[in-house]
Every structure is written in structure tokens, then in C-alpha cells.
Structure 1
Amino acid sequence: MKWSTFLERFNDCAVIEPAMVYAGESNPDALQAQLSRWVKAGRLIKLARGKYALAPPYRRVDLPLEHVANRLMYPSYMSMESALAWYDLIPEA
């Protein structure tokens, strides 16, 4: 897969997983090697095993830490206190 095709498909995704990339492709080994090359080139950031994010120059959306944390440690949730602090509804936060 070419970088332009990859970018067109996944520039709206905060976290990219290999299963998303492999969908509809015939050679997953070649795609895994390509993902590794893009990490070394600085186009992708490896968050954890099998989890990637686009590097800042290529990213169209922000990386909300809560969303990334949920994708890294699934299933997880945000506490009510954190949600209220997010919307500035509690003065202690």
C-alpha cells in the first residue's frame, strides 16, 4: 500500500490497528513490514504492540488522551469525576 492511499484512508483515525489496515488486502506480512518502515521513517507513531497513530504533520484530528487510553487498555472507561472535570463542572479540578 502506498503512503498516499494509507493517509487517505486513515487520516481521520486517532488510533490505527493492523486489522483496520489488513481489511481487503491480500498480503498482511507485506503490510506489517510497511507499517514498520513508516514507523522508522517517522510517519507513524507506535503507541503499543499493534496500535499506531499518525505523526503530527500527517494527522488531521487531535489525539484525545482519553480515547487513546481506551484503545490501549480496552475495555476501560472514564470516571464520572474525570468527565465532570473535563467539562469544568467541578471546581476542584
Structure 2
Amino acid sequence: MPGVLARLIHDGFPPKVALAKLYRMADQDYIEYGSSPAFAWPTEKGRAFLAAEAANAPRIIREAKRCPSCRVEKPVAEFGRNAARPDGLQSVCRACRR
């Protein structure tokens, strides 16, 4: 499991906001850490807090995206889903993936 700070950044929070949330979580006993809060792990109470924060994280809503393969800007419906990417879409359009 990645550290709490990495998880907050992955969920869409800017680094400064994520760091502020991390220190707030440390004050409320939501995380435990050894030498640095940047490498913290959540407590049981903290896991519930992180799940709620992820649901409220800012999301990027796009109507179009540029395919790096064909170099054409296309509607997001032309791209497959990929939950591992920050925008939730494949990097290359469906036509180029075939």
C-alpha cells in the first residue's frame, strides 16, 4: 500500500493540499508514522476518513482528449476506460489501439 501522502495525491489533491491534510490527519490520530508523516500508514479510523476524502476529491471532467498516436483531438467516448490513469481513460483512442 502506498503511503498516505501518495494516496491523497493520486486521488487528485494538489501536493500542498495533500500535505496539509496529512498533518491534520496526524493531529487527529488518523495515521501512524515512524520517522516522517510522508511515509505514514492509516489507522482503522483513518481508512474510513481516506475513503470519504477520495469520494470528495476534485475530479477533472473533460469533453475531449488528444490521441498521441493519431494526433487528433477526439471526444472522450472514443477512448477506453483505464482506472489506473489519472483521467480514467486510455492514453490512445480505440481506433489506434486496434
> Shorter-chain-normalised TM-score: which range?
0.3 to 0.5
Greater RCO, CA 8 A, separation 6+ = 1
**Structure with higher helix content:** 1
Q: Give the TM-score normalised by structure 2.
A: 0.37
Q: Which has the larger radius of gyration?
A: 2
Q: Give the TM-score normalised by structure 1.
A: 0.38
